[in-house]
Structure 1
């Protein structure tokens, strides 16, 4: 009989007494506790009518129960669908319609989602009910090509799409990253990420489980909490915002972080300046990696060897990567193939077909280039490419020059409609302090470094760039708000 692939890969090898998780305000969990709670939750899910292949939607605040419910849903042979806690009632209604779940797991306070579920006739259960003590049930057999999860994309170019992830997708990534990043039973991960996203749920959690390591599980990111708990940890995974904020805090010194083994960054580009500043302040070179919802992780800078700022490193083992239709600079579309890649989008065969080449490579939608050492650098999204007067302009090339100027904290370059050129370059700039520089000074400085057609024709000064929950700059918001 086929076993439950993901359950067996992540929850079978650790000793019962080995510590798994500590979270402020809750009792510690050992691996034995975790297995017991997961098997009990499988029974609760089955009693609630969840059958193999059913979708289970989950919109709850970050808690250890969220991890238990993820593992129990997969163990029950169902498909876990985590939802951003910020989604509105209208957004929840769309996911209920699209995913057609048998169950919606909600915190008591989420009334708008409860109302939407009532309209759709979907049963609602609290996480407390599903994680209560009770009889255990055995995992349901599932093969590596069975679906384990659906993660909805951010939907910046239209309706969110449900990226399907199989047991094998998640297992391959967990095994590859555990080895690449040298996680062992001696490690304790400081977990400050949300768990409705692939970074915090599948990368962080699955690597810890795969290594039999421990985690300190924080409800959210906060500098005080990091300073308090980091002395007991060996590694942290974060988004660039974590590291830029740590740089502004005098508690995170070379001496204070001397015990740490590894800092990993992803989900959004890390500025080369931030990488260099963090290494100067702490003595640690951040390890940057690259992935996406549909593929989990694709590349990583090496654990041993140069961690090159501005790059996202080398392809993972068994993952192939190529640059399609490169231009004269070697920049082109990033395409990937491997055991980590989604089989497609939930109930969306048209979008699935559009996202794969005829020879089976997944089209990421990102633009990149590979240097002589094989390291990949991300130039931007294909949809963010600005074509002005027939010339291709890669926003990152312009952003790097703007970010290096005195008085500039960060920038985002995007295209706006232009009656003559088709598109013109525009920039949103955040200053280190009000009045630190001005548009004329920036344009004059860029004139020495960029061709005229790449220089922004308009610059807007903002107090902050619009970002999603994982720290990615939302250029669609800039185009929509400042597209004139």
Structure 2
């Protein structure tokens, strides 16, 4: 009896194999790929990888702009059983050197504009092959593969074979490589496909980067498993999004994209009438944005929660009979995923109490690449992964994230959770958003500092805001300094970079 293959690509092909002539991807510059194109071109690339002598388990590192051929190359890596290692396009030479030394890739795929500068680095570190792939879908990778056969025998992966390594953002320390198996990714994709009600005829607007969990492992995986067409944006623009809404049924975005769309007068219930589902993730969605989207479109955004090490962990309900979508929460654990909040003493928290979030399930990664010390620290003896996030669970099982454990502020012996204070600040008139951080303080250990962005046209006064907050929360939570700025620093997925803020305001209490 033939053993079952857990290869993720094999599961995609099982879904779209009878739709090979259908359009799989339509781009914002009017190019189209069928599912047959994805299948044949990924076969050519997989054959090329094997012609170089790569074997299952070898690493392939990719730092390129978003393009359909870049997605096809990811599919080729799955087919060949090699480990795909996508990198944020913002990473610079010192970071790249660390990643190469840590992962030891056999191939590095770069943007053509960076090839010359990377050649010395890849030679010095000993990366055997450097090829290029541009945002226009051209480069030496395409030239090397276009004449190769369009048939390829898919690698028969086991549950534990690695599919990808994702390097964490490094916002709180040196990046770690999260290993994800074919089964981690497949189990999560299949769960989301069912939970979010994917059906024939669904069309996804794809507006996210593809070096990240959200854009690659959530958006693309769901569409491929459903044989759904993707409307593909190289770079997000509200105008293109609004033009595509009448054709689409599903959209996945980070909160920043929803904020930008809300600035468009053409966003109306009528413009969204064809849409089935709006999903938000990768950063917290402000309750104000959640409510304004309901008012403007008649749709309720579904917020979910995940991370590089686990793919998706929780989701607000899709079906009304399963409960409401609650703004400010990330919903309940996915089917088959366990989640608990633990006290600092290692005991389960009572309902509603704040604690460290731990998870386990088929989606949870087996550990960090070549970091046994980190694995020993981040996993409990009974196999739960410590996410580093802090939150609480209500009586209905909905999870609320209040921050990262590393963002916790301890001032004068009291714990301050930034998300709680931010919630009060964000509700004040004229406030668009805020970030609360702890900065070194000689007397208290840390002092609470707030950095606030005003709504368009609003004029804020720091002293008045501070006074307003004092009437609502305990004195030890009130910011000792409040700064008004034009914008908060963010990474490419829209997450506020609190590490950067802490560095900016590190000496605010020095005098």
Q: Distance in 2 between matches of 1:54 and 1:41?
A: 15
1:329 deviates by: 5.5
SS at match of 1:165: strand
SS at match of 2:490: coil
Report SS of the residue matched to 1:335.
Answer: strand
Aligned-pair CA distance for 1:435: 6.4
Tell me the equivalent position of 2:473.
Answer: 450
Give 1:18 deviation, angstroms. 2.7
Q: CA deviation at 1:433?
A: 4.3
Equivalence map 1:159-308=2 (5 Å): 159-305=174-320, 306-308=324-326
Paired position in structure 2 for 1:334 = 357
1:454 positional shift: 0.5
- Residue equivalent to 1:30: 34
Match for residue 310 of structure 1 among 328, 338, 357: 328
Aligned partners of 2:220, 2:398: CA distance in 1, in Å? 26
Moved more, 16-25 or 447-456: 16-25
Describe the shift of the 1:222–1:435 C-alpha distance in structure 2 as closer, same or farther (beyond 3 A). closer
Asked if 1:87 is matched to 2:91, the reply is yes
Q: How many residues align?
A: 484
Q: Determine the C-alpha separation between the residues in 1 that align with 2:119 and 2:490.
A: 27
Q: 2:15 aligns with which of 6, 13, 18?
A: 13
* Deviates most, 134-143 or 184-193: 134-143
Q: What pairs up with 1:48-197 in 2 under 5 angstroms?
A: 48-111=52-115, 112-122=117-127, 123-126=129-132, 127-129=141-143, 131-135=145-149, 136-197=151-212
1:328 Cα offset (Å): 9.5
Flag the 1:7–1:379 CA change in 2: closer, same or farther, 3 A: same
In 2, Cα distance between equivalents of 1:267 and 1:248: 21
Structure-2 separation of matches of 1:74 and 1:328: 41
Name the CA distance, whole Å, in 2 between partners of 1:37 and 1:459. 54
Q: CA RMSD in A?
A: 1.4
Q: Distance in 2 between matches of 1:431 and 1:296?
A: 33
SS in 2 for 1:95: helix
Unaligned runs of 5+ in 1: none
Instruction: Give the Cα–Cα distance (whole angstroms) in 1 for the partners of residues 477 and 312 of structure 2.
Output: 32
**Counterpart in the other structure of 2:504:** 481
Deviation sequence 1:32-54 (CA, Å, 0-9, x none): 22111111111011112321110
171-180 vs 22-31, greater mean Cα deviation: 22-31
| Structure 2: gaps (5+ residues) | 133-140, 344-348
8 A contact 2:310–2:365 mirrored in 1: yes
Q: Distance in 2 between matches of 1:229 and 1:130?
A: 34
Distance, in Å, in 1 between the alignment partners of 2:95 and 2:379 is 27
Quote the offset at 1:224 in angstroms: 1.6
- In structure 2, the CA distance between the partners of 1:376 and 1:406, relative to structure 1 (3 Å rule), is same
Seen in structure 2, the aligned counterparts of structure 1 residues 436 and 263 have a Cα distance that, compared at 3 Å, is: same
| Corresponding residue for residue 366 of structure 1 | 389
State which drifts further: 221-230 or 130-139. 130-139
